[in-house]
Amino acid sequence: MINSSLVLSIVTFIYGFSAVMYTSAWIFGKDAPARIARFVGMVGICGNLVGFLMRWSESYGHGYGHIPLSNLYESLAFFALTIALISLVIELRYRNYMISTFAMPLAFLALAYASLSPGISDKIQPLIPALKSNWLTTHVVTCFLGYAGFATAFGIGIMYLVRAWVPTSEGGLISRLPEGYVLDELIQKTVMFGFLFLTVGIITGAVWANSAWGSYWSWDPKETWSLITWFVYAIMLHLRYMRGWGGEKIAVLSIVGFMAVMFTYFGVNYLPGLHSYGSM
């Protein structure tokens, strides 16, 4: 029987194939593999969305009836969807497949980790009392849109540093990367996108915490690291707009910031706290 877990497992390999074709287009300098990769990526996004909606419907069949954003498996599936979607939008906007070449593997890895890791359960479970709130959708969706923006900036930051540090030869791999000023602009825009959504996510999370636990802020590990991540990107944007930082400095900060995002997402799940349900 086809269920959401099977659909998302299939999408994992679709994203993987898309990533391989994007890489092939970069290596061989041909447009045909890039067009195939773009089409396959679109199929993957549609499949990811279908799997997400199927899981939502299945939760009602189990008698729980909630948006599938309540555990690590579901959040990774949504994370993969947002990364793939944002990278594809940027690719189409800038007419350059190299953006997805570095971002699509991240979508693949997120969904592969969710689908293939034996330590992550794909079972649909009832919400714990603290999650039974209308704030769940707003808080989690905005946070993961922010994470996806930062993930894309991370990929673009790596591209910038590769272009800056590796010697460029005529017709070589590095020469096919977008120009430095384009990458610099994209880092700025994707970080701003992520920062705005993370800000909304933290605010809605605080309101939700007050309704669930009677306090807007409790210095839970997840809350603390979310704030640290917010400050990393706030400082980065301050340096960009007020001090004129750009180029390699901002590319490095986009990578450092994403490391903070990853610890906020994964690392704190193994620490005791109010958000320990994130490791389910």
**Half-sphere exposure of residue 180, counting CA atoms within 13 Å on the CB side?**
13
CA-to-CA distance for 276 and 241, rounded, in angstroms? 37
Nearest to 280 by CA among 63, 131, 81: 131
Taking a C-beta distance cutoff of 8 angstroms, is the pair 114, 51 a contact? no
Same domain, residue pair 115 and 167: no
Residue-number span of the structural domain to which 140 is assigned: 129-280
Average of per-residue pLDDT values in the chain: 90
State how far the Cα of 39 lies from the Cα of 45, in Å rounded to an integer: 10
DSSP 11-48: HHHHHHHHHHHHHHHHHHT-HHHHHHHHHHHHHHHHHH
Comparing C-alpha atoms, which of 97, 209, 85 is closest to residue 149?
Answer: 85
- Same domain, residue pair 100 and 139: no
State pLDDT tens for residues 177-220.
Answer: 999 999 999 999 999 999 999 999 999 998 888 887 778 878 88
Residue 110 DSSP label? H
144/272 same-domain check: yes
For residue 126, what pLDDT is reported?
Answer: 83
Contact 237, 254 (CB under 8 A): no
Give 179's DSSP letter.
Answer: P
pLDDT for 269 beyond 70: no
- Residue 25: is its pLDDT beyond 80? yes
pLDDT exceeds 80 at position 143: yes
| Domain endpoint, select from 96, 127, 158 | 127
Q: What is the pLDDT of residues 222-237, one digit of tens each?
A: 888 999 999 999 999 9
Do 57 and 155 belong together in one domain? no
Q: Which residue, 74, 94, 127, sits at the end of a domain?
A: 127
For residues 91 and 222, state if they share a domain.
no
> 133 and 2 share a domain?
no
My answer on whether 68 and 185 are in the same domain is no
- Within this chain, do residues 145 and 180 fall inside the same structural domain, yes or no? yes
Same structural domain, 148 and 68: no
Same domain, 33 and 133: no
pLDDT tens-place string over residues 82-139? 999 999 999 999 999 999 999 999 999 999 999 887 778 888 888 777 677 788 889 9
> How many domains does the chain divide into?
2
Q: Are residues 109 and 146 in the same domain?
A: no
pTM score:
0.91
Q: Which residues of 154-176 are buried (b: 16+ CB within 10 A; e: fewer)?
A: bbbbbbbbebeeeeeeeeeeeeb
Looking at 127, 158, 185, the residue that finishes a domain is 127
Q: Report the pLDDT value the prediction gives residue 44, as an integer from 0 to 100.
A: 97
The residue ranking higher by pLDDT, 210 or 19, is 19
The verdict on 193 and 218 lying in the same domain is yes
Residue whose entry in the numeric block shows the structure tokens 């958000």: 275
The residues, any chain, with a CB within 8 Å of residue 169's CB and separated by 6 or more, are: 175
